[in-house]
Amino acid sequence: MSEDNLTPPKAFVSYSWSSPEHEHRVLDLARDLRESGVDVILDKWDLREGQEASAFMEQMVTDDSITKVIIVSDRSYQEKSDNRSGGAGTEAQIISPKLYAGEDEGKFVALVFERDEQGRACLPAYYTSRIFIDFTDAARATDSFEQLVRWVFNKPLHKKPKIGRAPAYLDAEKGGVTIGTGAAYRRALDAVQNSRPHAFAATQEYLTSFTDKLPAFRINVDTDLDSEEIIENYRSFLPYRNEVIGLVRAIARAEPDPRYGDALHEFLERFLPLFHPSPDMGQYREKDFDNYKFFAHELLLYLCTIAVVDKRPDLLEALLERPYYDRERSERGGLALESYEIFAHFDRLLERRNKALGLNRSSLQADMLQERASGSGFRFEQLQQTDLILYLRLALVAPSSFCRWRPITLFLLRRSQSPFEVFVRAQSKKELARLLPMLGLESREPLDTLIEGYADNSVTAPSYDQGWRRLDVAQFIGYAELGSRP
């Protein structure tokens, strides 16, 4: 017995002497219950010659120490109970008033030991509408016995969990931004998970619907940039971000299909027009588009994290290898094509809030990404790992050039931070061979050159902790141990 319940529960067993075989079966059940810590009251043990049988049976309701009554019901018990004959009939007269009156419902349970020719459970009329435990299937005998023991001890297998906090997306709805993609998302998710023929078409439909409705998040030029309305706008994107994560996770776990990588690349590309004022806009502020840049940056981190965690290098290459086309930027004199570096983002709206409220945070943007990782299905450390991969992939292309990809999540690194998992695994030569393509490499020599550049200060590592420290790339990738094992 557990220390918090030293007194064994006491259970009365009601049954019919149908046959010697049935009696032995009931006796075995009673023994098993006693071995499981239940103080069983059974006539074969507790009713002796000369004792009053009626008083023995009545104790199931008169004795307060008996907390449970186990009704072992077979055809004979059913017939005797319904006809009010024999001991089972007497016990039926004792039990039925209690049940009909709704008293002590948690005190009585029927065990079905037999079924009739139609497969119906043999149960007394007073019990037919109640939940029973089925002992007619020998293959499930162990499960049925566990169910019984749990009932006796009031320890159900499925315990009702505590009520948690309301989902973040309910708060998000306070901002009033809803885009109604739920139905398309569910169709696409079901199609992908069940390998339906229309899975890719459903995915395209959802992703297109998603980006078509993004203008709903546009920050109005009249909105106070220091107001809570801005934060609510960011929060309101959460349920839709989680939809994308859920669908792409399903895609990553399905049979590889190169069309999905192309579709995800195009999905992110469709965010780019929202980084600029639309032709019909009059007045605007450059910061008015920072929420879209935050959303796209966050989604790129998650999509790449899925590709890394679920070992889908094809998806990672589709997202990172091909450039992105920004027509609006080209029309304003900028580059039309750029690598994923186009999604690098320093959020001026959040930095403005950081200063206005005197929060003095290294990066409120990093704080928000960390907070929003809760409920995403990924640890924030996994996002940081991806952020480092994205930085390294660009830094390795031109070590001496300025790298626009600022690994913002790494602002929250600890001084004692251990190397990230994918780099720890790359201590194995086999895993290192898998890591190098993630970094856009065919061999490790460019990585060696980059690390040497950090060491002799010919290459500048990104700063964090408000610019006071430089990222120790060699430490966070466990450089000294890479490929050191078979």
Residue 47: band (very low, low, confident or very high) from pLDDT cuts 50, 70, 90: confident
Domain boundary among 125, 152, 179: 152
Distances (CA, A) of 262 to 237, 266, 319, 323, 466: 23, 6, 8, 12, 37
* Same domain membership, residue 183 and residue 225: yes
Q: What is the pLDDT of residue 369?
A: 96
One-letter amino acid identity for 124? P
How do residues 365-394 score in pLDDT, each as one tens digit? 999 999 999 999 999 999 999 999 999 999
Question: Which residues share a beta bridge with 41?
Answer: 12
Residue 128: band (very low, low, confident or very high) from pLDDT cuts 50, 70, 90: confident
* Same domain membership, residue 252 and residue 338: yes
Name the pairing type of β-strands 324-325 and 337-338: antiparallel
Mean pLDDT of 202-211: 97
* Same domain membership, residue 209 and residue 148: no
Sign of the CA dihedral running 366, 367, 369, 370: positive
Q: What is the pLDDT of residue 411?
A: 87
End-to-end alpha-carbon separation of the chain, Å? Answer: 51
pLDDT higher than threshold 90 for residue 63: no
Q: What is the pLDDT of residue 3?
A: 46
Better-scored residue on pLDDT, 343 or 158: 343
Residue 461's domain comprises 401-486
Q: What is the pLDDT of residue 171?
A: 54
Q: Is 219 inside any structural domain?
A: yes
pLDDT higher than threshold 60 for residue 467: no
How do residues 308-360 score in pLDDT, each as one tens digit? 999 999 999 999 999 999 998 888 788 889 999 999 988 888 988 888 888 88
Distances (CA, A) of 61 to 93, 100, 108, 242: 11, 14, 10, 54
Residue 174: band (very low, low, confident or very high) from pLDDT cuts 50, 70, 90: low
pLDDT higher than threshold 90 for residue 439: yes
Highest mean pLDDT (candidates 47-51, 252-256, 470-474): 252-256
What percent of the chain lies above the pLDDT cut of 90? 60
Q: Is 234 inside any structural domain?
A: yes
Residue 290: band (very low, low, confident or very high) from pLDDT cuts 50, 70, 90: very high
Cα–Cα distance for residue pair 168/134, rounded to 1 Å: 42
Q: What is the pLDDT of residue 468?
A: 64
Please name the residue that has the structure tokens 């292309």: 397
- Can you say how many angstroms the Cα of residue 240 is from the centroid of all Cα atoms in its chain? 16
Cα–Cα distance for residue pair 244/222, rounded to 1 Å: 30
Q: What is the pLDDT of residue 172?
A: 47
Q: Is 258 inside any structural domain?
A: yes
* Same domain membership, residue 303 and residue 179: yes
Q: Is 460 inside any structural domain?
A: yes
* Same domain membership, residue 103 and residue 26: yes
Residue 292: band (very low, low, confident or very high) from pLDDT cuts 50, 70, 90: very high
Highest mean pLDDT (candidates 39-53, 54-68, 374-388, 414-428): 374-388
* Same domain membership, residue 127 and residue 55: yes
CB–CB of 325/337 below 8 Å? yes
Residue 167: band (very low, low, confident or very high) from pLDDT cuts 50, 70, 90: low
Q: What is the pLDDT of residue 241?
A: 96
Q: What is the pLDDT of residue 456?
A: 92
Highest mean pLDDT (candidates 55-69, 257-271, 272-286, 320-334): 257-271
CB–CB of 123/73 below 8 Å? yes
pLDDT higher than threshold 80 for residue 165: no
* Mean residue pLDDT across the chain: 89
Mean pLDDT of 24-33: 93
* Same domain membership, residue 369 and residue 270: yes
Q: What is the pLDDT of residue 120?
A: 92
Query: What DSSP assignment string belongs to 314-383?
Result: HHHHHHHTS-EE-HHHHHTTS-SEE-GGGG----HHHHHHHHHTT---S-HHHHHHHHHTTTTTS-HHHH
Q: Enter the tokens of residue 159.
A: 């315990």
- Angle ∠(149,152,154) on CA atoms, nearest 5: 105
Q: Is 387 inside any structural domain?
A: no
* Same domain membership, residue 184 and residue 219: yes
One-letter amino acid identity for 234? Y
Domain boundary among 99, 126, 152: 152
* Same domain membership, residue 458 and residue 432: yes
Mean pLDDT of 178-191: 93
Nearest CA-CA partner of 68 in 129, 19, 111, 23: 111
Mean pLDDT of 32-42: 93
Cα–Cα distance for residue pair 440/76, rounded to 1 Å: 77
Q: What is the pLDDT of residue 2?
A: 47
Q: Enter the tokens of residue 322.
A: 């091909």
CB–CB of 384/308 below 8 Å? no
Q: Is 395 inside any structural domain?
A: no
Residue 224: band (very low, low, confident or very high) from pLDDT cuts 50, 70, 90: confident
Task: Quote the DSSP letter at residue 387.
Answer: H
Cα–Cα distance for residue pair 20/27, rounded to 1 Å: 10
Q: Enter the tokens of residue 261.
A: 């990588």
Q: Which of 57-61, 274-278, 403-407 has the lowest mean pLDDT?
A: 57-61
Nearest CA-CA partner of 177 in 247, 269, 240: 240
Domain boundary among 378, 413, 435: 378
Better-scored residue on pLDDT, 1 or 397: 397
pLDDT higher than threshold 60 for residue 5: no
Q: What is the pLDDT of residue 89?
A: 77
* Same domain membership, residue 263 and residue 142: no
* Same domain membership, residue 276 and residue 172: yes
Name the pairing type of β-strands 66-73 and 39-41: unpaired
* Total structural domains within the chain: 3
pLDDT higher than threshold 70 for residue 180: yes
Cα–Cα distance for residue pair 197/56, rounded to 1 Å: 67
Q: What is the pLDDT of residue 237?
A: 95
* Same domain membership, residue 183 and residue 332: yes
Q: Is 384 inside any structural domain?
A: no
CATH number at residue 88: 3.40.50.10140
Q: Is 157 inside any structural domain?
A: no
